[in-house]
Amino acid sequence: MSEAGADRTNFCYRHPDRQSYILCQRCGRTICPECQTQAPVGVICPECMREQRATAPRTKPAAWTRVRSAAGRGAPVVTYSLIGITALVYLLQWIPGLGVTNALFFSPVFMTEVLPEPWRAITSVFLHSTSLFVHILLNMYTLWIFGRLLEPMLGRIRFLALYLISGLAGSIGVVVFAAPTTQVLGASGAIFGLMGAFVVIQRRLGGNMTQLYVLLAINLAIGFIPGANISWQAHLGGLIGGALVGLILLETRSRSRRGLQIGLLIGLAVVLYVIGTVVARWKIGAF
């Protein structure tokens, strides 16, 4: 019970019927035990707590901080990210009942109105055979090698565009050169695209091409080995697509031609899509 003449400053400002002798360390108002929040020194009221939280510097996750730090040092973060995403998808492929492989693999029929799912031309790039671990191992190793060379040279966005357009070109190569019922998955088309772009760039820079030509010839020849179950069509399509992207990036590398560069890259992707759609519909109709 409080006395009628009691000093009102000794009552909680939020609960006038509760007497207290504790003051907020920030604003000095009286607060009851229910309204008190422990601070490093003393207690603070709810309003001051909200103000403190609103003005406090926001911290970012440690993982994001490390990524930003690596990006600042010029590390090929897009290359590492592509490898990480591909590895994650590969792990998801192993989960029974999830159906990741069936949901993302590519076949020419997905470029037609029969099963209109053209996005699979890109999603299949992030899949790999679960029956052959060396499939993803070799592809990611090659991506690691060429990514560290090309990403700093081209820039992160251009390198990502090169990878994705090359992957699309690999799928379109399957549409053009393979049977309409062919089913494919894997990053090989995108990887060959990196090789194709690197060949174009190295030729312009005047580098030694002998070893690169030998490596490219060996990898292309492997796709023709009987029973190897390797899609040489995706390899060839990715190689051509990557070479075209590399040529576009070289010829429009000046800052004043950036708009033209973006337009040509988008145009190339559209042309590949149109070719894939037209050829797939023609093949399915004649099959």
Query: Which residues are part of the catalytic machinery?
Result: 188, 235
SS (H, E, C) the chain: CCCCCCCHHHECCCCCCCECCCEECCCCCECCHHHCEECCCCEECHHHHHHHHHHCCCCCCHHHHHHHHHHHCCCCHHHHHHHHHHHHHHHHHCCCCCCHHHHHCECHHHHCCCCCCCCHHHHHHHCCCCCCHHHHHHHHHHHHHHHHHHHHHHCHHHHHHHHHHHHHHHHHHHHHHCCCCCCECCCHHHHHHHHHHHHHHHHHHCCCCHHHHHHHHHHHHHCCCCCCCCCHHHHHHHHHHHHHHHHHHHHCCCHHHHHHHHHHHHHHHHHHHHHHHHHHHHHHHHC
- What angle is formed at CA 227 by the lines to CA 225 and CA 232, rounded to 5 degrees? 50
Q: Count of CB atoms within 10 A of residue 165's CB?
A: 25
The Cα–Cα gap between 20 and 11 comes to 5
